[in-house]
Structure 1
Amino acid sequence: MNLTSYVQDRQLTIALRGEIDHHAAREIMQALSAKIDLYLPLRCILDFRDVTFMDSSGIAVVIHTLRRMNTLQGRLLLQNIPPQPYKVLRAAGIEKITEIREECNR
């Protein structure tokens, strides 16, 4: 799993790539926490555009990031989610606890 990030005006955008499964989830959560701790953003955007597969471990990644942002009194936004990860997130009811912006049409 590779990720790319950039910060502008206390908004941290993190583009996730590859598969989010139980093998990658711990590493992803550690990387996300490190980025959030470094930049202390008011808003964190997770961009799923290049995520090729996600299982329930992806839900743990989102919840972990949401909890970290809540401790900073910040917001989490998910965007550009391809159909397969979108189904996993919808099945978990993620849209009830954080904002989802536009699903990718792949």
Structure 2
Amino acid sequence: MEIQAKSVDRKLLLRFSGELDHHGAKTAIREVEEAVESALPLQLVLDFGGVTFMDSSGIAVLLRAQRSVRNLGGSVVVCRVPRQAKRVMDAAGIDRLMTIQAGGTDDEK
């Protein structure tokens, strides 16, 4: 699991790539929390376009990210979610807690 971060004006974009499974989730949680602590975003965008596999461990990453940003008064958007990962999110009801967008990010260029 690799995560690339970009922060502008209290908006933090995190691009995920690789497998978000039990092993990747531990690292991802730590990296997401470090990025949030550094940027203090009011909006966190999680770009899942590069995620090749996600199991239920990925739900923990999403929930921890949401809790961290909510404590700052912000919100979380998940975008470019692959079909397999979307099924996992749907089964967990993640769409009731945060916005899930089918399209890409604003600065994909």
- State if a TM-score over 0.5 links the two structures: yes
Superposed structure 1 runs of 4+ greater than 4 Å apart: none
Give percent identity, aligned residues only. 37
Instruction: Provide the aligned C-alpha RMSD in A.
Output: 1.1
- 1:61-95 CA deviation, whole Å, 9 max, x = no partner? 00010010111111000000000000000111100
Q: What residue in structure 1 maps to residue 16 of structure 2?
A: 16
Q: Shift of residue 15 of structure 1?
A: 0.2
- Return the TM-score normalized by structure 2: 0.92
Which runs of 5 or more structure 1 residues have no equivalent in the other structure?
none
The number of aligned residues is 104
Could you say what secondary structure the match of 2:23 adopts?
coil
> Could you tell me how far apart the structure 2 residues matched to 1:65 and 1:2 are?
16
Which amino acid counterpart does residue 92 of structure 1 have in structure 2? A
Q: Shift of residue 96 of structure 1?
A: 0.5
More strand by share: 1
CA contact (8 A) 1:25 1:57 kept: yes
